[in-house]
Amino acid sequence: LASVPSSQLCVKLASGGDPTYAFNIRFTGEEVHGTSGSFRHFLWQVCKELQSSSLSLLLLCPSSAVNKNKGKYILTPSPITYGEEQLLHFLGQLLGIAIRADVPLPLDLLPSFWKTLVGEPLDPDQDLQEADILTYNYVKKFESINDESELEALCAEIASQHLATESPEGPKPCCRFTYLTMTGEEVELCSRGRHIPVAWENKDIYAAAIRSLRLRELQNMECVTAVRAGLGSIIPLQLLTTLSPLEMELRTCGLPYINLEFLKAHTMYQVGLMETDQHIELFWGALEMFTQEELCKFIKFACNQERIPFTCPCKDGGPDTAHVPPYPMKIAPPDGTAGPPDSRYIRVETCMFMIKLPQYSSLETMLEKLRCAIHYREDPLSG
């Protein structure tokens, strides 16, 4: 895609049952009919790779190590090469492509990323706490010290953690004007910081310098500039001024959970099926028993997206208003009549978000077949 002019990726916003996407995907060795399912699967694979260790563009936020914002990422705060700048540019294009296609990306990024992307300033307390709770607590300790004896005890405690193996006859431990970056590199907080001990007179300067370091890392303007450049090649950046950080996140990545009532309200029944049919009621009853993780796997199985839009134009429009893809979900009978229903498996056409559902006889059978589908056929590519 690096050789494709960005103007060719600027397709109209997706709507209706046959949307136009920025490009078509063909998987080698796979027989895929239609374009939607493979396109969604490609975006899912790209996001999975972005959040893996194979690339260094995204970094798990330090808070996730202590189970706060677990699984949330930030842009890696370090100098970038030309190749990494190009990848960040593509990440921005990917965000724009997803917005035009209305395919929520399964990316889990901290609010600080979205704030910086839309040009909103960071909150020195809230955003630091969300990204790095340990550093936040560390800074707060220095800011709340009341006298020199408390400072001396705190510095001794901190320094001793790094000098535990040294001789007790060595010099008295103390803190210096250095700190670890989010990538684990020790840096000086000011000129000759390694030679400046933290004292009562400069403790507030020390705490402010650490906070400033972290906020610069979260802003990460070099990386964000590359992402914005890529995004701006797909959608006008002026639109960002009309969106809050949360609105931008929802527009790009949707919600990481499934609203079953919304999905049910955006489902069509085909070839004579009705919502009151016994096996349809069993189907919805089974989904109501699913965890959110299982529901996301079901959506991935059914339409090759882990997340689906949380709103649709038909909510406020008339009966002829086009749905946003992949809505509506469709439930149809299975192909053919081979064998008793309980011996058959659920099939899907991912491009059409269509479930081909046999008339299972019990809730237990429905649960078994659905769980079999989502756990053992997560990548059907049958649509």
Beta strand pairing call for 178-180 and 73-75? unpaired
- In the set 47, 61, 312, 351, the catalytic residue is 351
**What is the DSSP secondary-structure string of 82-114?**
HHHHHHHHHHHHHHHHHHHHT------B-HHHH
Question: Quick count: other Cβ atoms within 10 Å of Cβ 376?
Answer: 9
**Distant-in-sequence contacts of 358-363, Cβ < 8 A, 24+ apart:** 358/279, 358/333, 358/334, 359/277, 359/278, 359/279, 359/333, 360/279, 360/282, 362/282, 363/282, 363/285, 363/286
Phi and psi, residue 332, nearest 5°: -135, 165
353: left (phi over 0), alpha (psi -120 to 50) or beta: left
What is the 3-state secondary structure of 246-289?
HHHHHHHHCCCCCCHHHHHHCEEECCCCCCCCHHHHHHHHHHHC
351 is catalytic: yes
- Whether the CA torsion 80, 83, 86, 90 is positive or negative: it is negative
Is 86:227 a contact under the CB 8 Å cutoff?
no
Pairwise CA distance, residues 97 & 19, whole Å: 13
Name 88's Cβ contacts closer than 8 Å, sequence gap at least 6: 57, 75, 80, 223, 226, 227, 230
Is 342:353 a contact under the CB 8 Å cutoff?
no
Is 78:222 a contact under the CB 8 Å cutoff?
no
Is 203:142 a contact under the CB 8 Å cutoff?
yes
Measure the CA dihedral 243/249/251/255, to 10°: -140
| Residue 226 CB-density burial (10 A; 0-12 exposed, 13-18 middle, 19+ buried) | buried
The residues assigned a catalytic role are 351
